[in-house]
Structure 1
Amino acid sequence: MNFTSGIMLAFSLLSALWSSAVVGEELLKQLFKDTPKAQEMNYNDIISRIMNINGPLLNISSLQGIITGDYREHANTICSAGHKSCLWPSSHNKNIYVPYAFKSNYKRAHKALIMTSLFEFESLTCLRFKYRTREVAYLEFIDGIGCWSYVGPGKRTQEISLQEPHCVDVGIIQHQMMHALGFYHETSRIDRKNHVEVKIEHVVKGFEHNFNVKKSNNLVTEYDYSSIMHFGRYAFSKMPGLPTIVPKPDPNINLGQLMGFSKTDILKINKLYQCNVCGNLLTENYGSFISPHYPDLYPDYAQCKWMIRAPWQHKVEVLFTGINAMLLFWYGASY
């Protein structure tokens, strides 16, 4: 029997514990128990958390190659304009395979969290992460000093530092992976001045270079205030409560977030790597999505994935508002 259908769904996030998910909640608690909680650290964006963790790096001479607090650049590589030298290679089936390995002996729960973070990329893009066998160029996760990565792929072993336990966090892992895939911070976009005002006079002396603009084509996407790559309002501020970045035209727009990559982050990856995927990330409180060609039948061999992200201790309510299905029966005979 073959089941082919088209569907239309609506979803909403409700601020209440899902009592039937006790088992799943306990599993998540086990994964997260050794990682710092965002609410305990009182940060509103991932980059601020990273900067706090990487504080000791800023004055270590042996690590001066780290730029804007959490990334390094390969020599003679242009990433900001989407140059092919800064892309992981495509395979014959159009997927992008990124080999990886673990240099450090991460705790089992931390390694599982890293793998879960990578799986989210696989679910919504054409990226595929494979354990390194004989590949010369590959990512190597290390329990180094702080959280940092290179921008784009290199020609050999490429370290990505996720110090235990503080850097082993979904948002931080995905931020560093965005660097490894070829992305800079959102606040370095060439069209930044149209969307935010940078108050250099509020920046700690000697850290002004962290707000330099990069030559970029922006992949024809809107400026993303909620990107996992966006600086927080008080990044590198010389005084608590003194903003270094103010959104325009609405100064009250939230900058950055803690959950993980945004919808536009995924859009940028798919554009940069020319991924032909079906599905998307849904983060709004209310919304809807439909299968391809609805109300016609679901396309043959299509695989669509929608990921709905809800804050901790919220539940997702999904309502099927329309369905168009056809049941095809195949009768065989034996002789």
Structure 2
Amino acid sequence: MNFIPGVNLVFCLSALWSSTMVGEQLSKPSFQGSPRIKEMNFSDIVNVIMKINRPLVKVNALRGIIIGDYQVHPNTICSAGHRSCLWPSSQDNNIYIPYAFQSNYKRAQRALIIAALSEFESLTCIRFKYRSREVTYLAFIDGVGCWSYVGPGTKTAQEISLQIPYCMDVGIIQHQLMHALGFYHESSRSDRDEHVEVKMENIEKGSEINFKIKKSNNLVTKYDYNSVLHFGRYTFSKSPGLPTIVPKLDPNVYLGQLMGLSETDILKINKLYECKTCGNLLTENYRYFTSPNFPNFYPDHANCKWMIRAPWHHKIVLEFDFFHIQPFLGCYRDNLKIYDGSTTRSPVLKGPVCGKMAPAVISTHHLLLIAFSSGHHKHSKGFSAKYRFGSF
């Protein structure tokens, strides 16, 4: 997508910057991607998953599904960050995880799964590769319900069940991938009771095990009410309107969400797998971010990505207060690219750009990816950027 340069674009961006800003009918859902979930009367991904998995938990309990949507590998200890629960690191410090489709997913459904995988790749050192002959790999199946194993296991295909069409949602897929990477539910971490109160009297009979605290490595991160792994306020409630989990410091804090990974989810992955990454996930309105070392010169061989995610039905306005990337013919060495989506497979809005002419863009939907890279030659100060959300 290209923008016409000149006064009209500048006026449009200035005006936008200054302006202010389902029922439980799961029997016959249709595949429409992530927006389908938000139309349902749920406040969080976990609640959606548990509703979908209700028949699985009751009928197929012998499969070993526990805590609603995950299984534990035999003889695998996934507590306190045990190394047996992690996928191995490679010599380049990236984590390469093979995957395969073992069910007849349609092209659009495969594309949705790959898009969910790609967001991990954009912001962490996790890299997904299509399986060749690897013995241990992720096997996406059209099983019963939405579930995964915790951690990679040993010498086996690790199934991730994404039932068609119920589990075809980016948030649900990323929730299960977090389990596959070795994470339990955020609302079962060891310091849970310092932050929320569990209302045992409001939990439906037989579901109490879902609120059991796990011995966990919290990776020196704050308790994340917004995690894609956090229970919602009414998850496993015995009656509509009765909360099962309530924040202690502020009862009005929102629990869970529908969009996908949170900023702290990304931080935890990078800490657990010791990723050396540059960039971040940005989900709050009216934020700034800069190139590394700004306002000093940016470093050699920088490879940074920032993914901005607005609420559904919003667009993103991105501008730069300062912009100076060392120019070179065709911006071959140091450059910035802006993608109209969450991955480098998305359409390019601007780039590669360099020099002092700052780009300015408006996304066509609620996701934007900014990628910055540098070589090993003379450098400049980089950039300072700001963005806002708008429904227009």
Normalising to structure 1: TM-score of the pair? Answer: 0.87
Give the match's secondary structure for 2:320.
strand
Residue of structure 1 equivalent to 2:237: 237
In 1, Cα distance between equivalents of 2:166 and 2:19: 29
Residue of structure 1 equivalent to 2:382: none
User: Deviation digits for residues 48-76 of structure 1, max 9, x if unmatched?
Assistant: 00011111112114545101110000112
Residue of structure 2 equivalent to 1:91: 90
In 1, Cα distance between equivalents of 2:227 and 2:19: 23
In 1, Cα distance between equivalents of 2:56 and 2:68: 8
Alignment map for 1:33-48 (pairs within 5 Å): 33=32, 37-48=36-47
Residue of structure 2 equivalent to 1:327: 327
**What's the C-alpha RMSD, in Å, of the aligned pairs?**
2.1
CA shift at 1:325, angstroms?
3.7
In 2, Cα distance between equivalents of 1:70 and 1:13: 44
Residue of structure 2 equivalent to 1:172: 172
Give the match's secondary structure for 2:296.
coil
Contact kept, 8 Å, 2:33 with 2:170, in 1: the verdict is no
Residue of structure 2 equivalent to 1:317: 317
2:254 paired with 1:251: no
Can you give the 5+ residue segments of structure 2 that lack an aligned partner in the other structure?
1-15, 22-29, 330-392
Compared CA separation, residues 88 and 15, structure 1 to 2 (3 A): farther
In 1, Cα distance between equivalents of 2:269 and 2:19: 30
Residue of structure 2 equivalent to 1:217: 217
Alignment map for 1:114-193 (pairs within 5 Å): 114-155=113-154, 156-193=156-193
Residue of structure 2 equivalent to 1:291: 291
Compared CA separation, residues 140 and 297, structure 1 to 2 (3 A): same
In 2, Cα distance between equivalents of 1:118 and 1:39: 21
Letter in 1 for 2:188: S
Residue of structure 2 equivalent to 1:50: 49
Compared CA separation, residues 248 and 125, structure 1 to 2 (3 A): same
2:208 paired with 1:208: yes
Compared CA separation, residues 129 and 34, structure 1 to 2 (3 A): closer
Could you tell me the percent identity over the aligned residues?
A: 66
CA shift at 1:85, angstroms?
0.3
Alignment map for 1:67-106 (pairs within 5 Å): 67-106=66-105
> For this pair of structures, how many residues does the alignment match?
306
CA shift at 1:15, angstroms?
8.3
Give the match's secondary structure for 1:49.
helix
Contact kept, 8 Å, 2:85 with 2:151, in 1: the verdict is yes
Residue of structure 2 equivalent to 1:279: 279
CA shift at 1:39, angstroms?
3.2
Give the match's secondary structure for 1:117.
helix
Contact kept, 8 Å, 2:96 with 2:127, in 1: the verdict is yes
Give the match's secondary structure for 2:117.
helix
Give the match's secondary structure for 2:66.
coil
Contact kept, 8 Å, 2:142 with 2:161, in 1: the verdict is yes
CA shift at 1:319, angstroms?
1.6
Can you give the 5+ residue segments of structure 1 that lack an aligned partner in the other structure?
1-10, 17-30, 330-335
Residue of structure 2 equivalent to 1:227: 227
Question: Comparing both chains, which one has the higher relative contact order based on Cα–Cα distances under 8 Å and sequence gaps of 6 or more?
Answer: 1
Compared CA separation, residues 144 and 283, structure 1 to 2 (3 A): same
In 2, Cα distance between equivalents of 1:15 and 1:82: 44
CA shift at 1:238, angstroms?
0.5
